[in-house]
Structure 1
Amino acid sequence: MATKRSDWIDWIKTIIITVIVIVLIRMFIAVPIVVEGPSMLPTLEDNDRLIVDKISLVFQDPQRFDVVVFHATEKKDFIKRVIGLPGETIEYRDDQLFVNGEYVEEPYLQEVKRNLDPEATYTVDFTLEDIPGGTMTVPDGHVFVLGDNRKNSTDSRHLGFIPLEQVTGISRLSYWPVKNIGIVE
């Protein structure tokens, strides 16, 4: 009889420890999320499932071209790509990205741009002064983000600069659907 009771106690301890570990991982290390909407096409599709890395933000701020998750409102998180970092000037001219006056290639958009009508523009021209709260440079403690689907994305062009404290994680891995399993680039 004592063995059965001991077995039950061991099972309960195991379950409690497992729950605690899962909660700690979700709070501080990584969390699964679901992509909602077309704003990150062609990189991410509606209903893709991702693992978002939270722990790396403890050690460093997001880097250019990281795909980040941030609080857009109290109840809604958005997924977008970091384009501008604090202190940088950002400009789109003739469908090309310029950071601090230097052309910067966006490899994740090459295929979609190749398939465009030669007369079409994927990203409409703008400078940081054209966006809400516009300034000459990205303010300290903020990033400038865009969706990869430039024609259908609510991003910094509409929301303004994103405070770093609102960034909750960096999308690292896509795990569903199976055809999209891999590193988020």
Structure 2
Amino acid sequence: MFSRWPRLAQLAQRYNLGPLFSEIKEKAGVILQAGCIVYVFREYCMEVSVCMGPSMLPTFNTRGDVLLLEHLSTHFGRIGVGDVVLARSMQNPKQIVCKRVLGLEGDEVRIPQSTQLGPGRTVVVPKGHVWLQGDNFINSTDSRHYGPVPYALLRGRAFLKVWPLHEAGLISSQIPDFYHRI
């Protein structure tokens, strides 16, 4: 049935479409190269991300703040205590969570007593893991619930808040005072 239809090559030859095809091929190559550059930059250098929800109050708003996230710190093992990071959720790998690093491998982290988490305890962060907690101690599902997070799940370090504009600026890596009162 399809034998009556002329082949694409025959059409190209008949209507002199060679220059059009070579221009399309050239443009597709440029678009492919640009896409690869954007992908590599976003995956290994820097990207824009949104942090929303109550777990990082008062540092970030519940409706969402737009952040710049850099990946070099996680690739080279330069994450420190106090840094705000984005990581794959331990409970749902399709979800990304925004938390503060409160312990690196070998650190002892004290979990105070609470009605939700039970009696207080001290946890030693195992090798290759970090301890993540939200700044909103009362309303955050974090390492206190699911334990230390493998370093490989870290996506990057948030270093700049760009939106809302009136709150734009560098994100502090200093542990907020309210952690010391717990």
TM-score in terms of structure 1 length: 0.68
1:127 deviates by 2.4
- Contact 1:61–1:164 (Cα < 8 Å) also in 2: no
Is residue 81–residue 146 contact of structure 1 (8 Å, CA) maintained in 2?
A: yes
Partners of 2:85 and 2:157 within 8 A in 1: yes
Larger RCO, structure (CA 8 Å, separation 6 or more): 1
1:165 aligns with 2:181: no
How much is the aligned-residue C-alpha RMSD, in angstroms? 2.7
Q: Give the secondary structure class of the aligned counterpart of 1:39.
A: helix
> Secondary structure of the equivalent of 2:53?
coil
CA deviation vs aligned residue, 1:152-172 (integer Å, no higher than 9, x gap): 111111121111011111111
Q: How does 1:142-157 map to 2 (within 5 A)?
A: 142-157=129-144
Per-residue CA shift, 1:65-115, capped at 9, x if unaligned? 000111112211111000011111122569xxxxxxxxxxxxxxxxxxxxx
**Larger helix share, 1 or 2:** 2
Gaps of 5+ in 2: 1-19, 173-182
Alignment CA distance shift 1:53-1:125 (3 Å):
farther
Equivalent of 1:32, from 48, 54, 57? 48
Distance 2:148 2:108 in 1: 12
Kept in 1, the 8 Å contact 2:111–2:144? The answer is no
Instruction: Return the index of the structure with the highest Cα Rg.
Output: 2
* Deviation of the 1:19 alpha carbon: 2.8
**2:81 alignment counterpart:** 64
| Native 8 Å contact 1:33 1:52 kept in 2 | yes
Residue of structure 2 equivalent to 1:126:
120
Instruction: Please tell me the residue identity of whatever aligns with 2:110.
Output: E
The answer to whether the 8 A contact 1:88-1:137 is kept is yes
SS of equivalent to 1:87: coil
Amino acid at match of 1:75: K
Shift of 1:16: 4.3
Q: What residue is the counterpart of 2:38 in the other structure?
A: 22
Compute the displacement of 1:141 (Å).
0.8
Which whole-Å deviations, capped at 9, do the CAs of 1:43-81 have from their partners, x for residues lacking one? Answer: 111310111111222222411000011111221111100
- Using structure 2 for the length normalisation, give the TM-score: 0.69
CA shift at 1:23, angstroms? Answer: 1.5
SS of 2:69's equivalent in the other structure is strand
Return the letter of the residue paired with 2:164. Answer: P
Gaps of 5+ in 1: 95-123, 129-135
* Structure 1 pair 40–87 and aligned structure 2 pair: CA distance change class (3 A): same
Kindly, what percent of the aligned residue pairs are identical?
32
1:140 equivalent in structure 2: 127
Partner amino acid, structure 1, of 2:76: F
